[in-house]
Amino acid sequence: MKAFTIAGINLRRFLRDRSNVFWVFIFPILLILVLGSAFGGSSDPRLGVYNGGDGSLAAELVGSLEAQTGMRVIDFTSRDDLLVTVERGEVEAGLVVPADYDADLQSGIPVPVELLRRSVDDAQGILGNVQSALTQQSIVLRAARFVESEGVGSFGDGLDMAQVVGDNVTDVAVTVTAAGESVGFFALGRFDASAQQQMLLFVFLTSLAASASLIQTRRLGVARRMVSTPTPVRTILAGEGLGRFAIALLQGLFIMVGTLLFFNVDWGDPIGAFAILFVFALVGSGAAMLMGALFENDQQAGGLGVLFGLGLAALGGCMVPLIIYEFFAPTLFKIAHVAPHAWGLEAFDALVIDKGTLVDTLPFLAILLGYAAVFYLVAIWRLRKVLTR
């Protein structure tokens, strides 16, 4: 019971620091947003559409766009709303269909269709899909206009005939065969990879930073006063370890739930994802206990904690994806697994890319538990010597 009391005191002391609220909870979410937006994976580009017309041709054009693969169409009720959304980057491009679209086409008047975009690169694929849909419709319109010009029937009759003929034309089937081995990483959603990487990075980094409070507890004599009470040393150590574990677990859960709600991040099997977080929080808290046991100066430990935390995260694939190492530097890929982060990312790959369950992550969890056990055992041995001498 005393161990939980000590852990609760450590957790409350950590949360009372207002700067921690930003750096531990808000900043990781913002960073995931920025990284996912800039370097995100293969989520389908979004085309906003404002259909100002109410005719069948305008509706047919929008329907043709919605049927396109590799693109998501979002309807808007006004051009102004669409323009603001494009400017904010919430959609890659916006298409404005004018109100007189049907009337002008039936009269033979060229119709300007407006495509709004922030940059050429963002809308390149969308532009091709829009041009394809317009080309398909223009072929039907030209056929209808030919029927009218030859006196065979009216424009409307020609349009109906062209559409019937077009529906009966046999499509050319294209078979796509993937050459080589599929790389699942590139199938991840826009924010999936960055969410996994930043969650592991910040859980470990925050844990190391929290080792400073353990050093302050020793340096100010609080730990010695606890030892002088009828409280076993093992209870004190358990409480300190639980406090740091609770901080790491709370931060990781916040990042997981936040990115799931705001960015629809796929964490895979919920039980497996929580197990990875739980075990990695043990690794982070164990590393924090070890640093708190080895260093005497909290400022020195804080600086080195940031250095070690970022360095191991970079090595372990939280800044450069492990797949890049594997393709271009196989030796570095093996070295990267010195960092526990690499095993955590491998476990998430088994869940998200391979669609696995908790069972598929067990080999990686076993290795992470080995890291945690080593960190805790060395930290307990060292802290026992420090507190009882």
Q: Each residue of 54-89: pLDDT tens digit?
A: 888 888 889 888 888 778 899 999 999 999 888 877
**Does residue 266 fall inside a structural domain?**
yes
pLDDT of residue 126: 84
- 36/50 same-domain check: no
Q: In what order do the strands lie in the sheet with 93-97?
A: 72-76, 46-51, 93-97, 114-117
The reply to whether 173 falls in a domain is no
Average pLDDT over residues 269-273: 96
CA dist 232 and 218 (Å) reads 16
Q: What is the pLDDT of residue 4?
A: 84
- Looking at the 3D structure of the chain, how many domains does it have? 2
Indicate if 15 and 119 belong to the same structural domain.
Answer: no
- Which of the listed residues 168, 203, 235 is the one where a domain comes to its end? 168
Find out whether 32 and 198 touch, Cβ atoms under 8 Å: yes
What local confidence, expressed as pLDDT, does residue 169 receive?
47
Asked whether residue 149 falls in the same domain as residue 198, the answer is: no
Q: Are residues 214 and 322 in the same domain?
A: yes
Answer whether residue 53 is part of any domain. Answer: yes
- Residue 180 in domain: no
Token pair in block for residue 75: 């309807």
Write the single-letter amino acid at 113.
V
Average pLDDT across the chain, whole number: 83
As a whole number of angstroms, the distance between CA 248 and CA 323 comes to 27
Say yes or no: 222 and 311 in one domain.
yes
User: For residue 182, what are its two tokens?
Assistant: 């599929």
Give the model confidence (pLDDT) of 105-116 as tens digits.
877 788 888 999
Whole-number Å distance between alpha carbons of 265 and 281: 20
User: DSSP assignment, residue 229?
Assistant: T
Summarize the confidence of residues 282-289 as an average pLDDT.
Answer: 94
Please name which of 309, 298, 206, 294 lies closest in space to residue 252, comparing C-alpha atoms.
206
**Is there a domain that residue 104 lies in?**
yes
Question: Would you state the pLDDT for residue 272?
Answer: 96
SS3 181: coil
- In this prediction, residue 184 carries a pLDDT of 56
Among 135, 168, 201, the domain-final residue is 168
Name the most confidently modeled range: 25-39, 43-57, 349-363.
Answer: 349-363
Domain check: are 97 and 32 in the same one? no
Whether residue 284 is contained in a domain is answered as yes
Return the pLDDT at 370.
97
Q: Judge whether 183 lies within some domain.
A: no
- pLDDT (tens digit per residue) in 303-346: 888 889 999 999 999 998 898 888 888 999 999 999 999 999 99
143 and 250: one domain?
no
Bridge partners, residue 97, by sequence: 51
**Same domain for 144 and 110:** yes
Contacts of 31 (CB under 8 A, 6+ apart): 194, 198
In a domain, 90, yes or no: yes
Q: Which range marks the domain in which residue 316 is found?
A: 2-40+191-388
Task: Identify residue 14 by its one-letter amino acid code.
Answer: F
The predicted structure's pLDDT at residue 18: 77
Buried b (16+ CB within 10 A) or exposed e, 183-220: eebeebbbbbbbbbbbbbbbbbbbbbbbbbbbbebbee
- Residues 159 and 56: their CA atoms lie apart, in Å, by 11
**One domain for residues 34 and 79:** no
Q: Are residues 316 and 341 in the same domain?
A: yes
DSSP 8-class letter at 22: I
In DSSP terms, 75 is beta-bridged to 49
* Chain center to CA of 247: 22
- Indicate whether this model's pTM tops 0.85: no
Q: Are residues 232 and 321 in the same domain?
A: yes
Q: Which long-range contacts (CB under 8 A, 24 or more apart) does 326-329 make?
A: none
Do residues 85 and 163 both lie within one domain?
Answer: yes
For 132-153, what is the mean pLDDT?
A: 75
What is the CATH classification number for the domain harbouring 95?
Answer: 3.40.1710.10
Domain boundary among 168, 199, 226: 168
